[in-house]
Chain A
Amino acid sequence: MINKKKLYPFTAIVGQESMKKALILNIINPSLGGVLIRGEKGTAKSTAVRAFAELLPQREEVEECMFSCNPDDISSLCGDCLERYKKGEDFSKRMGNMKVIDLPVSATEDRVVGTLDIEHAIKKGEKRFEPGILAMANRNILYVDEVNLLDDHVVDVLLDSAAMGVNTIEREGISYVHPAKFILIGTMNPEEGDLRPQLLDRFGMVVDVVGEKEIDNRVEVIKRRIEYEEDSHAFALKWEENQIELREKILHAMEILKKIRCHEDMYKTAAMISIELGVDGHRADISMIKTAKTVAAFDGKLEVDKKHMIEAASLVLPHRMRRRPFEEGVVEFSKVEELIRGIKDEK
């Protein structure tokens, strides 16, 4: 193949606004905890995630570090980099692209967490750690298609790392710790079984995607797809401007994120919503505020308003309702909206 096919541009995806928004918010603020995209087959879940890779910003990383350590974040350096830092060595930095790392459902545990480097052991007689998928995922996006089909013990280790941002290996003669801070993105088809509640809760947001209902939109989906299949380069070129615009908007949001203010009343509302809905634990409240701030940043605003809160709530709450295994998880979202709208306007 001479002409490699271009990726389908993210901005050319018709509809699916909340999915797109959720993905974007996670790049702007990697600490939001990732997204789980639930939906039937053929709803552009995977396309969106793949296309999303093109929008990922560049960031500084330590050269020749297998974990792409951030030279400016001393507290999350890997062992090697930390040693160099302590010795006062200078890191050679480079700009690197944030990447989408695939975690295939068939992956074995040792491939995920890393293992003993057999070749090195036999040739040199030394123990060396062979990094796994979690090592590559550090500071990147970890993408699990069909996440509900993942083996239980792989889920266990994934949870461990997702929770701590660190992968601890104690296996096969190897004792090793390395940073594993990643944005977890999963897709699943709910018909094929549930996700364990524990893993579900680790996702900052959940979006449910359905096929477009409007006939016009459905036609548009087909049209664009055909146009893309015919000439992906021309198609990509046509959307280039939108892509650039979105990329810049994301960069701007990243810049102002730290400056976003959030009024105390919003905290109170978040807490009230969580109590009202009876969510487990406190992750929902915290996520709601962080997400609202990120929504505000993407909106180009410096202060979180009710609109931002409602949008954030719609992303972080659906999977966190206290839901017994057999209860149907109906989100009474109108209640949430009511609570948020009830916040007194500022003078």
Chain B
Amino acid sequence: MRNNDVYPFSAIVGQDKLKKALLINVVNPSVGGVLISGEKGTGKSTLVRGLGNLIQDMEVIELPLNATEDMLIGSIDIEKALVEGKRTINNSILMKANGNILYVDEVNLLSEAIVNSLLEVSQSGISRVEREGITFMHESLFILVGTMNPEEGGLRPQFLDRFGLFVEVLGSDDLYERINIIERRIQYEENPSLFIQQWKYEDSKIWNKIKKARELISKIVVSESMMKVASEISMKANCSGHRGEIVMIEASKAIAALYGRKNITIDDLKEASQLALPHRMRDNPPDMSESDDIEKEDNNDANNEENNIDNNDQNTPENISDDMDNDQDDDGNDENRQNDNLDSIGDSDNETIDDIGNLFKVKDLDIKPLDRKRRKGAGRRSIVKTSELQGRYVRYTFPKGKYKDIAFDATLRAAAPYQDSRNKEGLALSIKKQDIREKIREKRTGSTILFVVDASGSMGAKKRMESVKGAIMSLLNDAYQKRDSVGMIAFRKEEAELILNITRSVDLAYKKLKDLPTGGKTPLTLGLYKGYEILKNAMKRNKDIIPVLVLVTDGRGNVSIGGKEPLEEALQVSKQISIEGIQTIVIDTEQDFIQLKLAEEIAKEMGADYHKLEELKAEEILNVVRNHI
């Protein structure tokens, strides 16, 4: 709003890479913006705002999360329409952003409709408005700067690719840097205007550097050999598409210009690759250890970068599974050996508590496979159009039937051009039926995933339960980001117990999972029935949920509830579940030499997706569930 109290860009300690990325964009806007990913409290936003204040010919235009579509792309100006009877367009965010920096804080939380409009414009550089009887076109070239905290989930791949550069920011580990950060912040807060005054000179030095670099950049000629090197780097880093190398070249031009040079060096390219490639690299880059040319180092650098992102995205489950590894080494082995023996006994009443399996490594649980999945699903997973009067109002539509949720702004705009010819009865405005528009709201609704887990004695065998727990946990991790709700039913002995009611507290789910014991008979029907009831109730409470039942069992039900054959009963309930429209997934844990394929039969009856546990690496189990949602 007011620029007088902005923390000076030059006073920010460290974060050199991010500063550089921002400067590169300001010098050469064709680089295409920056996505800043990082933990909380690392000065992401402060830097961007500081930059806006430092650059005298550009402004930082903010796209707040609460923005509605009409504000982003523009709509008819009500006042003008009423007073002058003219159809004009109001000043939209995209208009204001033209030639400036468009800043989106928490860009990964932006609503789908807004992201789509934004993608369209950032591709073409032109915004077309076709609404409310207005056709209008204007240029909208801006530097897109977004921040995100990967803990809150990722970005769609197309959107990710739109950002020219990517920087991951971390807090400093250096004691003296940290002290310095505290000191400056305290100084600033005690007397902002004095502090800003003290840094004015430093800021102006940076501004001069930018101006010089901007002059220089048009004189930079990119040699063919450099282009070749760039595409080689990009290829070796296994980047998708060609944007990687193009951005790399554009960024190197800016880097060279910032150094005051007219030629691009290998070092410039190297620096550029570290910023331009990390978010464009695909999984499993080919082994680069054989490469022995100059780019080798670049690749490795970029690759390290990549690993960092992965770790960050994942909240480092690596650490978690490492911890678990250790746990197992301590006490798990003995238990498991016991289980092996128990296997032959089958339904023993002995109870064991298995650790959560460590069957997956970070790479398998990478966020990227999920993103790729999501592309197919076009984000249906987490965002649904909601029928209730809740959620974020993103755009309007023509009403069908009774009016429930009138979009007043859109209605007024629709009515505005006709006011001259209407009888207004003393009011400033006359609204007719045909003017009325309704709101379209979006709500982030995760799915409600209920695990129905067989915890009978047969599951305790051969680390089965460990793998099962590992798989469930990988889903929990994902549910955390996607705001899914999770619940868990365990069936064993004579009962099916709701060990975790449907909740969003993933921590709680984790604890319950960890303490889940196995042992006893297999009351499969009971488990299924309970799961059915719970989900049905949840659906009654909230129509917008996406119910998913994940049955994890070997199918060897041996407890009857109604006096019939246990299997027959189980099949009956399964059918009921399928009728109710609950999405189901069966994960078969059967592993004996002679297979009864009972779980498969149940899966058929439920119309469920059927998978064997062996075939499910952590990565796959997630995808299985995601495919459904």
Binds B, one of A19-27, A95-103, A116-124, A230-238: A116-124
Given contacts A160-B64, A175-B71, A282-B172, contact A170 B186 (CB under 8 A): no
Q: State in angstroms the CA–CA spacing of A157 and B391 once bound together.
A: 13
Residues in A neighbouring B5, C-beta threshold 8 A: 75-76
* B501-542 interface with A by 8 A CB criterion: 503-507, 510
Please give, as numbers and ranges, the residues of chain A lying within 8 Å of B78 by CB-CB distance. 121, 125, 127, 173
- B106 interface residue per 8 A CB criterion: yes
**Residue pair B66, A170 in contact (C-beta under 8 Å):** yes
The segment out of B40-48, B251-259, B276-284 that lies at the interface is B40-48
Q: Is the CB of B175 within 8 A of A272?
A: yes
Is residue A31 contacting chain B, with contact meaning CB distance below 8 A? yes
Residue in B45, B64, B152, B181 whose beta carbon sits within 8 Å of that of A169 in the complex: B64
- Given the known A-B contacts A171-B71, A172-B393, are A194 and B66 also in contact in the complex, defined by CB atoms under 8 Å? no
Instruction: With both chains docked as a complex, state the minimum distance between the C-beta of B17 and any C-beta of chain A, in angstroms.
Output: 16
Q: Tell me if A324 counts as interface (CB < 8 A to partner B).
A: yes
Report the number of A-B residue pairs with Cβ-Cβ less than 8 Å: 216
B residues near A325, Cβ cutoff 8 Å: 151, 315, 477, 480, 506-507, 510
B2 contact from A75, A116, A193, A270, Cβ within 8 A? A75
Q: Which residues from B are CB-within-8-Å of A172?
A: 68, 70-71, 393, 407-409
* Cβ contacts under 8 Å, A126 to chain B: 79, 428
Residues of B447-497 contacting chain A, CB below 8 A: 473, 476-477, 480, 483
Whether a CB of chain A sits under 8 angstroms from the CB of B579 is no
Residues of A within 8 Å of B570, CB to CB, are: none
B100 proximal to A (CB < 8 A): no
| B105 sits at the interface (CB 8 A) | yes
Interface of A is mostly: helix
A31-B189, A177-B1 known; A153 vs B65 contact (CB < 8 Å): yes
Say which one of B219-227, B316-324, B369-377, B580-588 lies at the interface with A: B316-324
Chain B residues, CB < 8 A from A198: 40, 106, 149, 151-152
Whether A282 contacts B72 by the Cβ 8 Å rule is no
Give chain B interface residues in 396-419, CB to chain A under 8 Å.
407-409, 412-413, 419
Q: Which residues on the B side are within 8 Å of A173 (C-beta)?
A: 70-71, 75, 78, 90, 409, 412-413
A245 interface contact, C-beta 8 A: no
A196 to chain B, nearest CB (A): 7
- A168-191 contacts to B (CB < 8 Å): 168-175, 177-179, 190-191
Distance in angstroms between the alpha carbons of A200 and B72 in the assembled complex? 30
Query: Which residues, 258 to 286 on A, are CB-close (under 8 Å) to B?
Result: 258, 262, 264, 267-268, 270-272, 274-275, 279-286
Is B118 positioned at the interface, with any CB of A under 8 Å from its CB? no
**Count of residues in A whose CB is under 8 Å from the partner chain:** 75
Q: Flag whether B109 is at the interface (Cβ < 8 A).
A: yes
B157 proximal to A (CB < 8 A)? no
Say yes or no: is B287 at the interface (Cβ < 8 Å to chain A): no
Most buried by B among A123, A125, A159, A197: A125
Nearest to A159 among chain B residues (CB) is B106
Q: Which residues of A contact B320 (CB under 8 A)?
A: 324, 326-327
Q: Which residues in A have their C-beta under 8 angstroms from that of B326?
A: none
Given A153-B444, A172-B408, A282:B181 Cβ within 8 A? yes
Given contacts A122-B412, A280-B41, 12 further A-B pairs with CB under 8 A are A127-B79, A151-B391, A153-B444, A172-B70, A173-B90, A267-B179, A267-B183, A271-B178, A271-B179, A282-B41, A286-B185, A289-B186
| Subset of 24 A-B contacts with CB under 8 Å | A31-B189, A76-B2, A108-B389, A116-B412, A124-B428, A125-B78, A153-B66, A153-B391, A170-B67, A170-B93, A172-B68, A174-B71, A190-B505, A198-B40, A198-B151, A262-B186, A271-B175, A274-B178, A281-B41, A281-B171, A283-B40, A285-B178, A325-B315, A328-B507
Residues of chain A touching chain B, judged by Cβ–Cβ distance below 8 Å, are 31, 74-77, 79, 82, 108-110, 113, 116, 118, 121-127, 151-153, 156-157, 159-160, 163-164, 166, 168-175, 177-179, 190-194, 196-198, 201, 258, 262, 264, 267-268, 270-272, 274-275, 279-286, 289-290, 324-328
Interface residues of B (CB under 8 A from A): 1-2, 4-5, 39-43, 45, 62-68, 70-72, 75, 78-79, 82-83, 90-91, 93, 105-106, 109, 149, 151-152, 171-173, 175, 178-179, 181-183, 185-186, 189-190, 192-193, 315-317, 319-320, 389-393, 407-409, 412-413, 419, 427-429, 431, 443-444, 473, 476-477, 480, 483, 503-507, 510
Task: Please name the 8 residue pairs, one residue from A and one from B, whose CB atoms are nearest each other, closest first.
Answer: A281-B41, A283-B41, A125-B428, A271-B178, A172-B409, A170-B67, A280-B39, A170-B71
